[in-house]
């Protein structure tokens, strides 16, 4: 009886969660929706819609604005896009991730004493992806000119009142910023004073960046005067950034500060339009970017969780938290070993990893009574009719695919259970997200990043360089698919999501937060689909975070990135009896009033012909609809 009454209470609490008042109101609109990480950047999207632009135009304007405002990214970073095209009724993916430059080899970094490529400075930089991503997306699917779309960002570069979050981040990072002359010139507006960073509300001017954006627009306008097409004119701006005078200054500034990027690296790079990966979860088609991101980990987790009756467990009950944690860990173990750039060998076994049969096998490994602290990657190859070429490597690592002999833990995988602030910063390390939709049916979900503060600016371009090299490994025994090589993309955490139901857009959503991104997006999706929350309630709902994974960001030593088996972050509001039961199941608990990065989302209400917008109560994320 006690167990039954306890479950009843949990189910009731789940019901009450769906009925609760949110801290921020949901957005409603019937014409368009624009949501991103900064209020001024959301306004840039609104301005672009008011000019007559579509959701692609607005998304590009918001992305340009967030880069200019250093919303934990800048113009030298990377862009990951899912886009629904109402004309073809298909979801496409745009891969605007930069690549490792010439000379970026394991031997090079090991010779400098690194266990992973560095976190900061010019050596951490992949080639810029965001300028090319904006130009490609706008040229292929937008309607406005680059001049019109970049106008808000250019006004911001000319001077905007900087908000406290960014200003204080500059102040905290000023010691490192002083190592880089071009960063120091831009960021430290009060050199020699006690506070050298701008003050909140101060007009922050970025003349070098304004010059760079002006040059891109000038290239477009010159091409239009030559009677070039709209698309060709936008790509003329692209060429000036990647092959012209902007590229030359970027490379000069990068190499002056110890970086490796060459003119040939910039000229060879290009964005790629791809087929996204997807699975069907109870009639809903969920789309993610390919395995050069961590996105498929959410798809794998959904396949596993589809085997379970989550609704009957109750939102954030002991059984639900345990099941969710186990499914995520099984998926992340595969991510950490099998994901990498699909354009480089070896070929990742994605067909097997995303098969329902493999998911059933993985789900069978879940012990309903205890945390599976010793779980490792599975063997997806038989599920695509192949033999695993890494059997010996898995044995070397101490992994096994035999569920009856899972009593192992490789010595170098056995992380401690303690959590410190530096570790959590690496786990949560942020980015931003951009969501846009319009009444014509265009939908865009972007998770851009790179070049966050403290950023190393490349010469007099005003462009902060990416720090994404750190997501590569140097040791193939950690992940044979993600070893650094020139021209290769690192396996990144950046992971927008889109879902279709009955062939029509259902949800578009993304979040910031490093390795927690797909953990939080998974729970957001389940909050709506399984527990009936509104889009705003789902963005604010208490999540859990697993630390039983290899960190993708931060830390120069292997020990900095090791998994922490059984370590579980819970929201402060989790009841004492649930906490006690989880401890008995082998979990080490920590608590916070923030257990998710800012989630931004759009829900498509086909019954009423309107949009619902959700934007988390964490951070500065903001949306505008009409």
**Burial tier of 193 (Cβ tally within 10 Å: 0-12, 13-18, 19+):** exposed
CA dihedral of residues 264, 463, 496, 355 (deg, nearest 10): 30
Does 150 have pLDDT greater than 80? yes
Neighbours of 503 (CB within 10 A): 9
Give residue 2's pLDDT band: very low, low, confident or very high (50, 70, 90): very low
d(CA 445, CA 498): 7
Residue 226 lies in a domain: yes
Say what the pLDDT of residue 205 is: 98
For residues 353 and 291, give the distance between their C-alpha atoms in angstroms, rounded to a whole number.
11
Q: How many domains does the chain have?
A: 2
Q: Is residue 564 part of a domain?
A: yes
Domain residues for the domain of 361 are 289-424+529-592
Cβ–Cβ < 8 Å for 488, 286: no
Per-residue pLDDT tens over the stretch 430-451: 679 999 999 999 999 999 999 9
The tokens describing 552, both together, are 């993708």
Question: Which of 490, 515, 540 marks a domain boundary?
Answer: 515
Q: Identify the pLDDT of residue 280.
A: 98
Give the per-residue pLDDT at 430.
Answer: 61
257 with 212, same domain?
Answer: yes
Is 615 among the domain residues? Answer: no
Residues 157 and 265 in one domain: yes
- Between CA 507 and CA 488 the distance in angstroms is 31
pLDDT tens digits for range 566-590: 999 999 999 999 999 999 999 999 9
- Report pLDDT for 5: 36
- The reported pLDDT for the residue numbered 396 is 85
Does a structural domain hold residue 625?
Answer: no
**Percent composition of the chain: helix, strand, coil (DSSP 3-state, to 5):** 40, 15, 40
* pLDDT in the model for residue 513: 86
The rounded distance, in Å, linking the Cα atoms of 437 and 12 is 35
User: Where a domain ends, among 459, 486, 515?
Assistant: 515
Residues 79 and 207 in one domain: yes
pLDDT of residue 30: 97
The string of pLDDT tens digits covering residues 299-312 is 999 999 999 999 99
Mean of pLDDT over the chain: 92
- Which CATH number characterizes residue 574's domain? 1.10.246.130
Indicate whether 23 belongs to any domain.
no
> Are 50 and 135 contained in the same domain?
yes
161 and 194 share one domain: yes
Question: What pLDDT shows up at residue 3?
Answer: 41
| Residue 420, pLDDT score | 59
Both 136 and 122 in a single domain? Answer: yes
165 and 94: one domain? yes
- The tens digit of pLDDT for each residue in 246-272 reads 999 999 999 999 999 999 999 999 999
pLDDT in tens, 52-111: 999 999 999 999 999 999 988 999 999 999 999 999 999 999 999 999 999 999 999 999
d(CA 561, CA 555): 6
Q: Which residue, 461, 485, 515, sits at the end of a domain? A: 515
Q: How confident is the model at residue 183 (pLDDT cuts 50, 70, 90)?
A: very high
Contacts of 497 (CB under 8 A, 6+ apart): 82, 286, 287, 288, 295, 298, 445, 507, 508, 509, 510, 521, 525
Q: Are 400 and 543 in the same domain?
A: yes
Whether residue 609 is contained in a domain is answered as no
Q: Encoding tokens for residue 369?
A: 């009574």
Of the pLDDT bands very low, low, confident and very high (cuts 50, 70, 90), residue 400 is low
In a domain, 230, yes or no: yes
* pLDDT over 90 (residue 129): yes
Percent of the chain whose pLDDT exceeds 90:
85
What pLDDT is attached to residue 619? Answer: 80
CB 78 within 8 A of CB 493: no
CA 339 to chain centre: 15
CA-based nearest residue to 182, from 201, 207, 215, 150: 207
Mean pLDDT of the region 207-218 = 98
581 and 544 Cβ atoms separated by less than 8 Å: no
Out of 385-389, 495-499, 551-555, least confident range: 551-555
Residues 308, 165, single domain; the answer is: no
Question: What does the pLDDT read at residue 413?
Answer: 37
Cβ–Cβ < 8 Å for 80, 293: yes
Shared domain for 573 and 461, answered yes or no, is no
Whether residue 124 is found in the same domain as residue 250? yes
* Angstrom distance (rounded) from CA 527 to CA 307: 17
Say whether pLDDT at 414 is over 80.
no
- Lookup: tokens for 325: 């944690």
Is residue 68 in some structural domain?
A: yes
**pLDDT of 423:** 47
pLDDT above 70: percentage of residues in the chain: 92
- Please check whether residues 207 and 90 belong to one and the same domain: yes
């Amino acid at each position: 009886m006690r167990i039954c009454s306890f479950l009843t209470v949990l189910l009731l609490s789940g019901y009450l969660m769906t009925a609760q008042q949110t801290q921020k109101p949901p957005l409603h609109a019937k014409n368009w929706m624009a949501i991103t990480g900064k209020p001024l950047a959301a306004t840039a999207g609104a301005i672009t819609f008011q000019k007559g632009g579509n959701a692609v135009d607005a998304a590009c304007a918001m992305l340009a604005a967030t880069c200019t405002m250093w919303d934990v990214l800048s113009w030298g970073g990377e862009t990951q896009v899912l886009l629904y095209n109402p004309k073809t009724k298909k979801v496409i993916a745009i891969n605007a991730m930069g690549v490792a430059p010439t000379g970026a080899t394991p031997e090079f970094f090991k010779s400098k004493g690194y266990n992973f490529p560095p976190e900061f400075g010019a050596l951490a930089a992949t080639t810029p992806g965001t300028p090319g991503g904006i130009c490609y997306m706008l040229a292929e699917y937008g309607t406005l000119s680059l001049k019109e779309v970049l106008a808000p960002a250019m006004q911001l570069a000319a001077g905007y009142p900087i908000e406290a979050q960014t200003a204080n981040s500059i102040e905290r990072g000023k010691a490192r910023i002083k190592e880089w002359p071009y960063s120091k010139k831009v960021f430290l507006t009060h050199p020699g004073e006690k506070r050298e960073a701008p003050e909140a509300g101060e007009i922050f001017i970025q003349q070098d960046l304004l010059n760079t954006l002006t040059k891109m627009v000038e290239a477009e306008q010159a091409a239009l005067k030559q009677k070039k097409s709209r698309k060709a004119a936008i790509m003329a701006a692209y060429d000036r950034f990647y092959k012209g005078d902007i590229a030359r200054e970027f490379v000069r500034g990068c190499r002056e500060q110890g970086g490796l990027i060459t003119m040939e690296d910039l000229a060879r790079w290009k964005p790629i339009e791809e087929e996204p990966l997807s699975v069907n979860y109870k009639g809903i088609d969920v789309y993610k970017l390919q395995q050069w991101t961590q996105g498929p980990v959410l798809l794998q987790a959904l396949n596993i969780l589809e085997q379970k009756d989550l609704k009957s467990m109750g939102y954030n009950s002991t059984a639900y938290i345990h099941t969710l944690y186990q499914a995520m860990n099984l998926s992340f173990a595969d991510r950490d070993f099998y994901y990498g750039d699909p354009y480089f060998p070896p070929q990742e076994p994605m067909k097997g990893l995303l098969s329902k049969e493999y998911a059933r096998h993985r789900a069978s490994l879940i012990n309903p009574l205890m945390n599976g602290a010793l779980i490792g990657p599975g063997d997806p190859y038989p599920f695509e009719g192949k033999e695993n070429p890494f059997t010996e490597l898995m044995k070397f690592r101490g992994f096994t695919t035999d569920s009856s002999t899972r009593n192992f833990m490789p010595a170098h995988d056995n992380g401690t259970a303690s959590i410190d602030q530096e570790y959590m910063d690496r786990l949560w390390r942020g980015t931003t997200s951009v969501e846009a939709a319009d009444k014509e049916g265009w939908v865009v979900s972007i998770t851009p990043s790179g070049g966050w503060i403290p950023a190393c600016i490349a010469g007099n371009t005003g462009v902060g360089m990416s720090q994404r090299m750190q997501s590569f490994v140097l040791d193939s025994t950690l992940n044979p698919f993600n070893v650094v090589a020139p021209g290769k993309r690192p396996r990144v955490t950046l992971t927008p999501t889109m879902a279709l139901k009955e062939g029509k857009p259902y949800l578009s959503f993304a979040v910031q937060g490093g390795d927690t991104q797909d953990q939080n997006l998974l729970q957001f999706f389940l909050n709506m689909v399984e527990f009936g929350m509104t889009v705003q309630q789902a963005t604010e709902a208490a999540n859990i975070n697993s630390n039983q994974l290899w960190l993708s960001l931060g830390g120069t030593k292997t020990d900095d990135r090791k998994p922490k088996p059984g370590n579980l972050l819970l929201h402060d509001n989790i009841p004492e009896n649930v906490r006690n039961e989880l401890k008995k199941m082998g979990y080490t608990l920590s608590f916070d009033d923030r257990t998710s990065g800012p989630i931004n989302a759009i829900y498509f209400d086909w019954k009423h012909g309107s949009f619902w917008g959700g934007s988390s109560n964490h951070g500065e994320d903001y949306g505008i609809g009409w």
